[in-house]
């Protein structure tokens, strides 16, 4: 990996790669109510998106790439949808924690950056990338992330981004002006569609995670 592998703030990266940080992130989804709600909502949307893929004739999936996989929060759901699940993350610690908890049955694990995925073009059926885009510090990196996902996907990409037009970001922009807050790392929905189209993908779904309280959008794109 080149220096593209470390686009986030050094402190965040250090915490994410530490044993303490990895375990804390895992515990958040067990103990914090808003994390539990988010997990439930994401799983419901994922189920609907995979049902959409089935309707489009893409129900028989050989492989799914989950990047970043974290501690394997979605591994059970994704693993049930394919014959081979590839769990990848920038953090060695997250990958190790994931493998410890979920084993190797139908799964493989690797360290990888979502900005420089070590796989050939169109090498996996579906690529899933949750909750990474808003951590990337520049527009160029956020678009590079999308381009890499579309490059390695043979059939579809399921990805989240923080929408520039979401209510949460609109309110944040007010605080940026009035209180000097740092702007969110956002993407415009239209720009995401443009990047997808350039890679040969058409949008099928773009659903807000929550209309109030979250600026994240979960998108489904299918190769034309």
Task: Render pLDDT for 27-54 as a digit per residue (tens, 0 to 9).
Answer: 888 889 888 999 999 999 999 999 999 9
User: Does residue 6 register a pLDDT over 60?
Assistant: no
- Interval 63-90 mean pLDDT: 97
Extents of the domains making up the chain: 3-223
pLDDT tens-digit profile of 160-191? 999 999 999 999 999 999 999 999 999 999 99
**b/e 186-218 (16+ beta carbons within 10 angstroms → b):** bbebebbbebbeebebeebeeebbeeeebbbbb
Confidence tier at 223 by pLDDT (50, 70, 90): very high
- For the record, the structure tokens of 159 come out as 């990805």
pLDDT of residue 197: 98
Mean pLDDT of the chain: 93
User: Does residue 96 register a pLDDT over 90?
Assistant: yes
- Backbone dihedral angles phi then psi of residue 127, each to the nearest 5 degrees: -110, 130
pLDDT tens-digit profile of 108-162? 999 999 999 999 999 999 999 999 999 999 999 999 999 999 999 999 999 999 9
| CATH top class, domain 3-223 | alpha beta
The proportion of the chain whose per-residue pLDDT surpasses 90, expressed as a percent, equals 83
pLDDT of residue 2: 44
pLDDT of residue 211: 87
Burial class (CB in 10 A: 0-12, 13-18, 19+), 132: buried
Confidence tier at 8 by pLDDT (50, 70, 90): low
pLDDT of residue 34: 87
Query: Measured in Å, how far apart are the chain's first and last C-alpha atoms?
Result: 30
Confidence tier at 13 by pLDDT (50, 70, 90): confident
């Amino acid at each position: 990996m080149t220096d593209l592998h470390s686009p986030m703030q050094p402190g965040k990266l250090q915490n994410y790669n530490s044993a303490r940080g990895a375990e804390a992130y895992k515990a958040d989804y067990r103990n914090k109510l808003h994390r539990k709600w988010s997990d439930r909502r994401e799983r419901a949307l994922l189920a609907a998106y995979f049902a959409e893929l089935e309707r489009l004739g893409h129900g028989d999936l050989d492989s799914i790439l989950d990047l970043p996989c974290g501690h394997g929060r979605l591994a059970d759901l994704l693993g049930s949808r394919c014959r081979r699940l590839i769990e990848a993350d920038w953090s060695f610690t997250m990958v190790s924690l994931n493998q410890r908890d979920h084993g190797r049955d139908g799964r493989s694990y690797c360290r990888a950056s979502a900005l420089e995925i070590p796989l050939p073009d169109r090498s996996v059926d579906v690529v899933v990338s949750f909750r990474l885009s808003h951590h990337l510090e520049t527009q160029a990196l956020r678009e590079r992330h999308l381009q890499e996902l579309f490059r390695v996907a043979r059939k579809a990409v399921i990805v989240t981004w923080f929408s520039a037009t979401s209510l949460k970001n609109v309110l944040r922009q007010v605080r940026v002006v009035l209180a000097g807050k740092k702007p969110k790392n956002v993407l415009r929905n239209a720009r995401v569609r443009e990047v997808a189209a350039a890679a040969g993908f058409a949008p099928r779904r773009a659903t807000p995670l929550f209309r109030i309280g979250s600026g994240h959008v979960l998108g489904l794109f299918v190769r034309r």
